[in-house]
Chains A and B, each alone.
Chain A
Amino acid sequence: MIEERFDAIVVGAGMAGNAAALSMARQGMKVLQLERGEYPGSKNVQGAILYADMMEKLIPEFREEAPLERHLVEQRFWMMDDRSHVGMHYRSDDFNEERPNRYTIIRAQFDKWFSSKVREAGATVLCETTVTELVRDERERIVGVRTDRRDGEIHADVVVLAEGVNGLLGTRAGLRARPTPDNVALAVKEMHFLPRETIEARFNLKGEEGVVIEAAGTISRGMTGMGFIYANKECISLGIGCLVADFQRTGQTPYGLLDQFKRHPSVLPLLAGSEVKEYSAHLIPEGGYKSIPQLYGEGWVVVGDAAQLNNAVHREGSNLAMTSGRIAAEAIGLVKSRGEPMTATNLSLYKKMLDESFVIKDLKKYKDLPPLMHTHSQNFFLTYPQLISRAMQNFVRVDGTPKVEKEKATLKSFVKARSWMGLFGDACRFARAWR
């Protein structure tokens, strides 16, 4: 049993937990961070794109120290059917700037480094320790945790739950609901290794430049889902994710989807000759604004994926995790500096501050999009990609058909598949949800 008492216990050493532990330790608080993995990062899976702005707010000099892969100069969106893709690529030399805006990273390596900064700031980090339970006092306030390491309890004024998407502790303690099949997606991912020069040639890159591809369409077989292909220095991260409810409903296998994605004629040449070194899977919160649970209570706050703080539309999660962790730490610091207790009323400051940040504002903006994508997945992920592919082919193939007839054929195929009302309805629904 650890006899010491801590100002704060942080559960989890992912993006949210590291941001919270770092910020609290820097304010001079006595912080204990507990992580179940062998080392921080050994349980964590991400694409992964790192957003520099949010990292800079925590560690301004991270560019010189952190294990970064490539800075992104190009973003590709692919709408795929079985044999083709329609792409939109945005590439700009502006992204070759002194302080680039986005990087690819490898989470296990990045988290290890991030954690070294948390230790440097003075926090105690204990790995290989699974927190099994939250401890309450007679007035039902959270006063500490129990772990599988030692008998007994570890006490603190406040517990920061940065336990990731599964959020076992918080859900078991009744602080929030368990994730449901329609508010989490399952993503599977592989790491494909290739010589650096090969990656640069295949993706049209030089030096440290990087590119990411986000893909949607028939690759998810009518389910709500997305694929991704991210270029790292000497490997390619490739994966695909769909709503758990869709896997449950259709009986599709995650590895079957991944395999089909890899064998797509647009993807296969990018991977040719690669050596796979890891296969992983992870859930992603997809419920958006409407799924955000209670964020604070007597002696506790919840941050990051555990609080469903994930922007599925823009594929942002780690930055929301980091920001919520930092803001929670600042709120806790303010309560402490006033010499006040960590009551729900005082900790509501965290929510107030988070509401003012991009985290909640962005999630609010898209609050209707996740339900729309989930209920209309057939149209958005199967029918439209096929129609658009056919329209493009009709447009570019030169076969002696007069252009007027070609246009008529394209229009007819859309109306036949979705009807005028359907097309109109989809357009309105989409515009409204995006607004």
Chain B
Amino acid sequence: MDAEPSVRVEDKLYYNRYLVDIGRPHVKVRAHTSPSPQLVALLNACPARCYELNDEGRVEVTVDGCIECGTCRVIAEPTGDIQWSYPRGGYGVLFKFG
């Protein structure tokens, strides 16, 4: 019943086209010592698995694979845990089909 182990999001993102705005991430996580419940929720809720727990137990974001859905903003912007905006015009995910 549990499907997760077989799913590799990285493989899925490989199908997509991106123009990464190097050095200008459009999502940032606020510095923290231990993550809030909202940040922890992002580890599973982000459809591109952009959020990961690092060795120090803190939540980090890597936006290269972001599909700009806004889910993390809805969950974690109100608490100030993340800063979220769109990439600069023309950058980010480029859907061929959508």
Given contacts A248-B41, A278-B15, contact A42 B98 (CB under 8 A): yes
Residue of B nearest to A147 (CB): B89
Q: Which residues on B sit within 8 Å (CB–CB) of A252? A: 44
**How many of chain B's residues touch chain A, expressed as a range?**
35 or more
**Complex formed: what's the CA distance from A106 to B98 in Å?**
7
Q: Mark B71-98, 1 if CB is under 8 A from A, else 0.
A: 1011101100000011111101111111
Inter-chain contact A36/B89, CB cutoff 8 Å: yes
Q: Which residues on B sit within 8 Å (CB–CB) of A355? A: none
The smallest C-beta distance from A270 to any residue of chain B, in angstroms, reads 18
Q: Which of A255-291 contact B (CB under 8 A)?
A: 255-260, 263, 276-283
- B61 CB-CB contact with A under 8 Å: no
Inter-chain contact A276/B15, CB cutoff 8 Å: yes
- B31 CB-CB contact with A under 8 Å: no
- A331 CB-CB contact with B under 8 Å: no
Inter-chain contact B74/A244, CB cutoff 8 Å: yes
Question: A42, A111, A184, A280: which has the most chain B beta carbons within 10 Å?
Answer: A280
Inter-chain contact B75/A278, CB cutoff 8 Å: no
Inter-chain contact A43/B68, CB cutoff 8 Å: yes
Inter-chain contact B95/A281, CB cutoff 8 Å: no
- A186 CB-CB contact with B under 8 Å: yes
Q: Which residues on A sit within 8 Å (CB–CB) of B44? A: 247, 251-253
Tell me if B's interface is mostly helix, strand, loop or mixed: loop
Residue of A nearest to B93 (CB): A43
- A191 CB-CB contact with B under 8 Å: yes
Q: Mark A94-121, 1 if CB is under 8 A from B, else 0.
A: 0000000000001111010000000000
**Complex formed: what's the CA distance from A111 to B70 in Å?**
21
- B45 CB-CB contact with A under 8 Å: yes
- A148 CB-CB contact with B under 8 Å: yes
- A178 CB-CB contact with B under 8 Å: yes
Given contacts A43-B68, A259-B7, A279-B12, contact A180 B89 (CB under 8 A): no
Q: Which residues on B sit within 8 Å (CB–CB) of A263? A: 3
The smallest C-beta distance from B72 to any residue of chain A, in angstroms, reads 10
Q: Mark B37-68, 1 if CB is under 8 A from A, else 0.
A: 01001001101110000000000000000011
Given contacts A184-B74, A279-B16, contact A109 B45 (CB under 8 A): no
Q: Give the 9 A-B residue pairs with the shortest CB-CB distance, closest first.
A: A128-B90, A107-B98, A279-B12, A281-B47, A108-B98, A128-B89, A166-B70, A281-B69, A260-B3
Q: List 23 A-B contacts (CB under 8 A).
A: A36-B89, A36-B90, A44-B98, A45-B98, A108-B97, A130-B86, A130-B87, A165-B70, A166-B70, A178-B77, A180-B74, A188-B47, A244-B74, A251-B44, A255-B12, A255-B47, A256-B4, A259-B6, A277-B15, A280-B16, A281-B47, A281-B48, A283-B71
List residues of B whose CB falls within 8 A of some A CB.
Answer: 1-4, 6-7, 9, 12-13, 15-16, 19, 38, 41, 44-45, 47-49, 67-71, 73-75, 77-78, 85-90, 92-98
Q: A44-B98, A280-B95 are in contact. List 7 more A-B contacts (CB 8 A).
A: A108-B95, A109-B97, A244-B71, A248-B75, A253-B44, A255-B12, A281-B69
